[in-house]
A and B are shown apart, each in its own frame.
Chain A
């Protein structure tokens, strides 16, 4: 293997397929890899899950598409099995988070533990120096800081840096995001030019292992498969001053900011403000109470700097579709950072990530507590 061997993580979609074709056309030795992460048939038909397999993750159709691309562009292609790791590092924490009243983002866990950990490891093992993916993000080395930087892509509408905040320097040094400077229409045009049959394939959006995005059914089905059932977390709906105004069927049905499905009728609309997992309580209140000025992150990862030595001005994104808001961040513990927004932000949701930006540079990010 020469020094220019690149493993491309191929999902069977347009983006990663185009990456493989681009790198191949540039003359790299390209090896296509698809991670088999979840067996969609596992929970089919259980506890109201669809009988037919509709999910996007690791479906045979996607593997077939990736295989066809590999054949078209003439690269070796392998499916690698990481089902055990995925279940341990992504699915179980996903379930656990919901059961504790938080709203998890499995894509970030998957990026940290599977895509940029296992994939880089297997790439090295099979003689590839770097891994390339179809993520919309940029990675570059900054001489002055002596650090690898993660940056927002040219196509801001496709920005996936929010899900990539956990990447370490070691991982970034072995990662390529060839689509960082391109727009989606440009990628599709390129896919057509390379003669890829899937150039018009629609984008996938939902959480890949949860068919139709129905996470409640997924929780039921997964727990029943494990010989378990949803723990009874039914409890009270309370107001901010502790007044009980109703009951609910389980905390996993709620997420901060939610308005529908509360089951109580009052004069003004009520929103979920907080979920108290230990007391099985869901705190509700007026829209104005939904705003908060500060939040705390744990398991924080810094990218553009190795240490936050002083309070730093950044803009912060608290969910994937959130316009970054101006804030000051300050280190308060080993991997703990406090975020103080200039303006109060709506529905700060435990379990989601807060990602810090300095213009288009990702400073770092952590999990909202």
Chain B
């Protein structure tokens, strides 16, 4: 069966160039980067080269890059590394669970957290952040791009507000990296987390940008790896893969790959909306990353649609899954004020560099037919159709 993967916000395939770059570090270049001898020097050099590549992707100094195991660790290190009892934290209602549940944990420990809302397009209002500031606000953590809708938040404005108020600003840029250019100076953030597997590096590696001079208490204690910010022997193959993926991402901006992906996404979105009535894009009217389209289909449930599509070879998702693999009601769409039935009827399509026009055509053929089938079985839809006649 032909299988098309349009769930790249969940994870992406490792690109062949990335796999090639990593390969020696599983075999002949096996040294511990902390070792004094030749083998250690060899992997140390590879780790530092990767650090330079990641720094180039983020527009920061290599010394400001801390390698992590991924986005969740970066978010946790930023939040728990900075916040102390008595502090106040500002976040938003649409953060990824890595941030949201970290903030909830802070609350359980007695720390005040304010969650700023979003509007119907899924956008945070920077003025809400300004109004939420308190004398004891220590950290603002608001994501750069939302994982479910792809909506880009006004983080440069938030960065300015944080700079004026002299509070730390962390942004979860996991869904932004390689999709839109990232310049930490322009954003004005002190911390920024990324995850390798969201842009064609392997799972299990990521990075946290930590602005020079930021005092961060480590979460892991042990050796003095990563300038004592993250103890533990480096995941060298993963880090090398992350470095290579960062290089490819930067090159992608030069060759305007992002525009190609945007064109594919726009074609997919337009065709589906053209062929399916009573459907609309979540986050319409807001700036979005070029690869993501989240669409609701009235009168049906998202869960059987996703299963039906998967049985026919198309992999998409809703963006929110619990540990069993079942679909959870989306806190993001709910926060945007979407009706509960529409939140349950929403599907996320997310493209990656490996996707082609044929892949998009496959989805354009399959999705409207599957939605139509489900609507035939839907009492709600049939009632509505009868009334229309």
11 contacts between A and B (CB under 8 A): A67-B325, A78-B310, A78-B325, A80-B303, A80-B326, A81-B326, A122-B304, A125-B301, A125-B308, A125-B374, A126-B304
With beta carbons under 8 angstroms apart, the residue of A39, A60, A121, A126 that contacts B307 is: A126
Contact, CB under 8 Å: B307 / A63? no
Is B324's CB within 8 Å of the partner chain A? yes
Residue interface mask B300-330, A partner, CB < 8 A = 1: 0101100110110000000000111111100
1/0 per residue A102-139: CB within 8 Å of B? 00000000000000000001101111000000000000
User: In the bound complex, do residue A76 and residue B310 qualify as a contact, i.e. CB atoms below 8 Å apart?
Assistant: yes
Question: Which of A58, A78, A125 makes the CB contact (< 8 A) with B377?
Answer: A125
Contact in complex: B311, A126 (CB < 8 Å): yes
**Looking at the complex, which one of A60, A122, A126 makes contact with B323 (CB distance below 8 Å)?**
A60
Determine how close the nearest CB of chain B comes to the CB of A52; give it in whole angstroms: 16
Chain B residue nearest to A5 (CB atoms) is: B311
A31 within 8 A of B: yes
Interface size of A as a range: 20 to 34
A120 to chain B, nearest CB (A): 11
Q: Which chain B positions have C-beta within 8 A of A154?
A: none
**A100 sits at the interface (CB 8 A):** no
* Least CB distance, A154 to chain B, in whole angstroms: 33
**Given the contacts A63-B324, A78-B325, A127 and B308 also touching, CB distance less than 8 Å:** yes
Give the CA-CA distance A108 to B311 in the complex, in Å: 31
Q: Which of A60, A67, A122, A126 has the most CB of B within 10 A?
A: A126
**Which residues on A sit within 8 Å (CB–CB) of B307?**
31, 78, 80, 122, 125-126
Distance to closest chain B CB from A314 (angstroms): 35
Interface 0/1 of A7-43, CB less than 8 Å to B: 0000000000000000000000001001010010000
Contacts A79-B324, A124-B377, A125-B377: A31 and B303 contacting too (C-beta < 8 A)? no
- The minimal Cβ–Cβ distance linking A346 to chain B, given in whole angstroms, is 42
The answer for the CA separation of A36 and B324 in the assembled complex, in Å, is 8
Q: Is the CB of B377 within 8 A of A31?
A: no
17 more contacts with CB within 8 A, not counting A78-B310, A126-B311, are A31-B307, A31-B311, A39-B322, A63-B324, A63-B325, A76-B311, A79-B324, A80-B307, A80-B326, A81-B327, A121-B377, A122-B304, A122-B307, A125-B377, A126-B307, A126-B308, A127-B308
A1 contacts partner chain B, Cβ-Cβ < 8 Å: yes
The 9 A-B pairs with the shortest beta carbon distances in the complex, nearest first, are A125-B304, A81-B326, A36-B326, A79-B326, A79-B325, A63-B324, A126-B307, A79-B324, A126-B308
Digit string of B341-385 for contact with A (CB within 8 Å is 1, else 0)? 000000000000000000000000000000001100100000000
User: What is the minimal beta-carbon distance from B305 to any residue of chain A, in angstroms?
Assistant: 8
A67 to B328, CA, bound (A): 19
- Beyond A36-B326, A58-B324, whether A81 also contacts B303 by CB under 8 A is yes
Task: Fill in one digit per residue for A53-85: 1 if any B CB lies within 8 Å of its CB, else 0.
Answer: 000001010010001000000001011110000
| A131 CB, min distance to chain B CBs, angstroms | 14
Cα(A36)–Cα(B303), bound, Å: 12
Across the interface, name the chain B residue whose C-beta is closest to A31: B311
Indicate whether A81 sits within 8 Å of B328 (C-beta atoms), given known contacts A36-B322, A125-B374.
Answer: yes
Instruction: Indicate which residue in A36, A60, A81, A127 contacts B311 across the interface (CB closer than 8 Å).
Output: A127
Residues of B within 8 A of A80 (CB): 303, 307, 326-327
A34 to B327, CA, bound (A): 12
A67 / chain B contacts, CB cutoff of 8 Å: 325
- Across the two chains, which residue of chain B brings its CB closest to A36? B326
